[in-house]
Amino acid sequence: MTDGTQTSGIRLRRFDPAWLALVFVPLVAWSKDATVVVLALGVVLMLVNATHRSDMLAGPHRPRFGAAFLIWVFASVGWSLAFPWIEWWKSFAVVAMAALLLRAIGRSDVVRLGQIAAAGLTAVTVLFGVLAVERLTGAGLIGLVRTAETTERLFNVMSGGLAFLCCLTFPAAYLIARRWSWSTAAIAILAVYVLALSYRMDAAPAAICTGAFMGAIVFFAQRKGFVAVVAVLVTLALGWGWLADFALGHGGGAWLAQNVSGNWAQRLEIWTSVSDTIAQRPTAGFGYDAGRALGRESGADVPYMHPHNGMLEAWLDFGLIGVVLLLGWIAATVRDVILIAPPREVLATIAATIAAAAVFWLVSFGLTAEWWLAALGLTFAALKMITRLAQPVT
């Protein structure tokens, strides 16, 4: 390639200690907590191997909305109903590690990042292979260890690995396109979609479809499309509670139970219940991880461990103040991405990945679950890496 970018830097040429962290990526198929191990090892190994670079952690920091939001989040444990100090420390550690990893990637040599990206692509491919084998064998591998559990339960255990794979699908596809072709990348995305369809997790194929659609919009509309995609996702997230209340009031719960699944009908009820609870303390919220305690005490027919929607959980726990700070952080991040002016294929990959992750964020996992925070941190690290790889050689 002669376009002036580091397009040849994703080949495996020499060993890098940071690869050791990627060995644990396929293990996420069997344990969601492996994402935390990958994140922790990735930070340590990248920093240790870069101790000769005095600027690795140097340079100006721009906390702004992001820091303000995190400070508010971690301060909210003081008025939390549950006082979850252990969970607080775990989440704090994961967020700190994710920030360090992003910082390290931003300061690392582009050639080295290319080597790590190649190893990362291999790790994601192996994760896909493990999940495919488990599906074909009816959870045969994990069933050798967890013999007392049903196949359905074992597939639920692997939902975290499938979600992690879906979040990394589009960055991996971008690397495949750079190394081979866009047609090969499209086949890879289709393969993940087919695998997602075979699992009992509706959010997974929806994430791939949403990501592909949003990515296509941004590929053709570029910056304006990127802003529009983020705006649509944010608007949808903010209006989720009202949409759920409207749907439930017009027979949506019964329709979902009859035509889709009882699980979605239950979530509709949970979202409506959470939306009503938010109104009781809308400004400051109920405090860090309060949704767990409120879910057990709620009047809903089905008690919940978390609201199954990131924005509703943010509003429930951190109030309107936290939501405003979060929106400011999102706006600042969008502005930074636009200022970087990545190539259209990179911008489309970023949009597709954000959209795919947003699907899980809106319907599935808890906002402060350590493994999910680690998965998001690694996902954004992958986006940071491909953005660096696309920058012109200096």
pLDDT in tens, 273-318: 889 889 999 999 999 888 777 766 655 555 667 788 999 999 999 9
What percentage of the chain's residues is helix, strand, coil (to nearest 5)?
Answer: 75, 0, 25
pLDDT in tens, 28-76: 999 999 999 999 998 888 777 654 444 444 444 455 788 899 899 989 9
- Chain position carrying tokens 């600027």: 55
Q: Where are the domains of the chain?
A: 19-389
Q: How big is the CA angle at 272 (ends 212 and 333), to the nearest 5 degrees? A: 40
- DSSP secondary structure letters along 132-201: HHHHHTTSHHHHTT-TTS-HHHHHHHTHHHHHHHHHHHHHHHHHHHHHS-HHHHHHHHHHHHHHHHHSS-
pLDDT in tens, 68-120: 998 999 899 888 876 667 888 888 999 999 999 998 888 888 888 888 899 99
Tokens of 382: 């992958």
The verdict on pTM exceeding 0.75 is: yes
Report pLDDT for 52: 45
Identify residue 30 by its one-letter amino acid code.
W
